[in-house]
């Protein structure tokens, strides 16, 4: 019976039945603890585990989607199981440490006998299902007809096809290993007959063929299939010259690859509604020349307030701007290109030549600064640190609860040394200002450092956040505080 011939009632019943079958249940998600975790995960060929905290808002948002996906996936043949661990429970805290859980929710993929992998897929039910099915299935499949090859290429943005003599070809095992490593970065398949490959644009005799829906669209791997060479080939050639910086799951793996690299990152902020195509074209033209110097991303002004804030850009600005962050020395470079995208090439060349002046995000120097705790900003950081005075500085974030708790105590410390003009007790809003000196390694809040006015020695304070302990530290470490 076709849909057009169904009665309205029958169609309604079919939809209702489908909806009912997808009802989420907490029982569909396996609950794990420190007592049963190792035994359970080691028994699964494939499983996903969510590490969560009951108070976490993002975890609460994920819960119904995760439960719905679990209900669907457990009906697969064989079933694919999703599990969860309350990482805040005392008996489970060792698991959080063991697997490097630093935020919630964190999802990990477990395969029997293998080290866990990061889950980089969507956070909504249908996306979770599609991603998990892809990650749990074979890393690569055999294609035997042109129709199968065409369908495979149509469904993958990046598709690597290997050519082998048969199942006993020794190079096939190497290909499958590479496919497993990069399975979330693209599609992998293999053929035993080169004739089923697309004839147009395919290089005859190549051992592997990479077809893409971006950049140059095709690359041939012509060497012998060896593990490292094939991995290097796919890793380099499958990464777009210009990566989109957004929340789309298909871009997440590419972004992870870009941000795990030590190479400087260049972002182009632009209004996607009106100028995305033009900016993307310019970046793609310049990328081959500068890809050794920077990884290039393009970002919409919309939904990227935090990234813009990081570079000191106003979230209300709609002027196309390119920025570079050099992670090695934590320097930032900013260039507005609104109305003249030719400035993009000049900016990139300037960075490659080492001729750009670093941009320092800073609040204005306060007109009045007479409180017990000196308000330090990036514009005068070097001046204060080079003043020859003892300086204790707290790097904080306005939203940080621990910083708020420390504030009244720190004010008392400032009062203690207020009359000593050779001692400065300062604070520094590290969300509104760049830290200009890499010697001050700020990775969390609050972070406190002390610089001796005579020797210039810099030390990080890691003691108790109490008045007497802080005062004692300043007196012991300082040249003028005793």
Annotated catalytic residues are: 56, 59, 400, 403
Exposure on the CB side of residue 288, measured as CA atoms within 13 A? 5
The owner of tokens 């699964």 is: 44
Q: Are 368 and 452 in contact (CB under 8 A)?
A: no
Helices (H) and strands (E) in the chain, counts: 15, 20
Cα 96 to its chain centre, rounded Å, is: 19
Question: What whole-number distance in Å separates Cα of residue 465 and Cα of residue 447?
Answer: 11
Question: What whole-number distance in Å separates Cα of residue 118 and Cα of residue 382?
Answer: 41
Question: What whole-number distance in Å separates Cα of residue 3 and Cα of residue 5?
Answer: 5
Q: What are phi and psi of 220, to 5 degrees?
A: -105, 135
CA-based nearest residue to 133, from 92, 97, 81, 172: 81
| Strand intervals (E) in 303-420 | 321-326, 331-336, 374-375, 390-396
3-state secondary structure of 45: coil
């Amino acid at each position: 019976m076709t849909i057009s011939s169904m009665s309205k009632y029958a169609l309604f019943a079919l939809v209702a039945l489908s909806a009912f079958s997808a009802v989420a249940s907490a029982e569909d998600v396996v609950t794990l603890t420190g007592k049963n975790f190792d035994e359970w995960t080691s028994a699964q060929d494939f499983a996903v585990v969510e590490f969560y905290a009951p108070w976490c808002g993002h975890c609460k948002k994920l819960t119904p989607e995760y439960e719905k996906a679990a209900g669907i996936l457990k009906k697969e043949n064989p079933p694919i199981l999703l599990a969860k661990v309350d990482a805040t429970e005392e008996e489970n805290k060792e698991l959080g440490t063991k697997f490097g859980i630093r935020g919630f929710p964190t999802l990990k993929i477990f395969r029997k006998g293998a080290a866990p992998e990061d889950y980089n897929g969507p956070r909504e039910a249908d996306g979770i299902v599609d991603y998990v099915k892809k990650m749990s299935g074979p890393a690569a499949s055999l294609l035997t007809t042109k129709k199968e090859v065409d369908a495979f290429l149509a469904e993958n943005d990046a598709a690597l096809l290997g050519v082998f003599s048969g199942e006993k070809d020794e190079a096939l095992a190497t290909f499958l290993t590479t496919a497993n490593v990069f399975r979330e970065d693209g599609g992998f398949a293999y053929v035993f007959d080169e004739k089923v490959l697309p004839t147009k644009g395919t290089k005859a005799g190549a051992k592997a063929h990479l077809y893409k829906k971006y950049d140059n669209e095709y690359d041939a791997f012509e060497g012998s299939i060896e593990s490292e060479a094939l991995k290097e080939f796919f890793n380099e050639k499958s990464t777009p010259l210009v990566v989109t910086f957004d929340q789309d799951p298909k871009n997440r793996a590419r972004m992870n690859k870009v941000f795990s690299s030590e190479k400087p990152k260049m972002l182009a902020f632009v209004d996607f509604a009106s100028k995305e195509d033009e900016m993307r074209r310019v970046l793609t033209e310049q990328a081959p020349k500068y890809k050794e110097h920077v990884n290039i991303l393009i970002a919409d002004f919309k939904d990227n307030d935090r990234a813009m804030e990081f570079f000191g850009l106003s979230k209300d600005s709609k002027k196309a701007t390119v920025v570079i962050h050099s992670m090695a020395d934590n320097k930032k470079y900013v260039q507005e290109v609104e109305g003249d995208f030719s400035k993009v090439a000049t900016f990139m060349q300037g960075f490659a030549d080492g001729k750009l002046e670093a941009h320092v995000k800073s609040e204005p120097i306060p007109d009045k600064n007479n409180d017990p705790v000196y308000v330090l900003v990036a514009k005068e950081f070097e001046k204060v640190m080079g003043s020859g005075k003892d300086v204790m500085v707290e790097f904080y974030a306005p939203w940080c609860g621990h910083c708020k708790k420390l504030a009244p105590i720190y004010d008392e410390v400032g009062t203690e040394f207020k009359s000593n003009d050779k001692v400065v007790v300062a604070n520094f809003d590290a969300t509104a200002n760049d830290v200009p000196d890499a010697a001050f390694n700020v990775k969390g809040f609050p972070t406190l450092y002390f610089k001796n006015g005579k020797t210039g020695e810099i030390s990080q304070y890691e003691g108790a956040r109490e008045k007497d302990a802080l005062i004692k530290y300043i007196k012991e470490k300082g040249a003028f505080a005793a």
